[in-house]
Amino acid sequence: MEKPIINYDTLIRITKAISVIRDPDEIVLITVEGVTNALNVMGCTLFLFSLKSNELKIAGCYGLSKDYLNKGPISSLRSIASSLEDGQPVAIFDVSDDPRIQYPEEAKKEGIASILSVPIIIGNKLIGCMRIYTSEPWEFTLNDVNFTQAVAQVVGMTLELCRVNKGLKDSIDILKTMRDPKTLKSKRRTPYEGVPKSFARNEEMIQPSA
């Protein structure tokens, strides 16, 4: 497999495409497809970390079969856990003979030879990881790792901004609803507000004419 030369132009094209989209699903799909084509590899998957279940949930994938994607839950404690624990990239040359792989048989059946796992960390918070899959044994270079890390970090920040903006938009929408005159009851008190209706009617009847 011929390794392409990754340069700044490739990174700029991917990040520029991400920057003009506001839908998180589209951002993820463009990212995994862009990375796969840029590195000329078998596929790419972006996972989001679930603190509640200690699992990696698939946010988007390109190049892998549905059977492989549905192989079972991805445990952050068993599937290349060192990448998530240490916050450092981990490259696995032979997935068929590495104890860090959670589903080695499924990976072999899929035709996966090597995997690069890069954590996505925003601030001090682990939000997920990006993984690169090759169909032939692959010695990942520093250039491969740096490129994947850069894209993973950009998409991570973009997804975090989408989350924050959505929360902000929801808050603004709520405030607008609260301030909408159509949804507010008038705070002005009428002359007979709180007065029994029978008394109010009697008062109207005895008002002197002008």
**Residue 122 domain boundaries:** 8-168
- Residue 139 included in any domain: yes
Q: Which residue, among 120, 126, 128, 150, has the nearest Cα to 38 in the 3D structure?
A: 150
- Residue 31 included in any domain: yes
Number of domains the chain is built from:
1
pLDDT in tens, 15-68: 888 888 878 888 889 899 999 999 999 999 999 888 788 888 889 999 999 999
- Residue 124 included in any domain: yes
- Residue 53 included in any domain: yes
How confident is residue 172, by pLDDT bands cut at 50, 70 and 90?
Answer: very low
- Residue 109 included in any domain: yes
CATH, residue 154: 3.30.450.40
How confident is residue 6, by pLDDT bands cut at 50, 70 and 90?
Answer: low
- Tokens encoding 188: 């002005």
Contacts of residue 52, defined as CB under 8 A and 6 or more positions apart, other chains included, come to none
- Residue 18 included in any domain: yes
pLDDT in tens, 119-158: 998 888 888 899 999 999 999 999 899 999 999 999 888 8
- Res. 165: pLDDT tops 60: yes
- Residue 52 included in any domain: yes
- Residue 114 included in any domain: yes
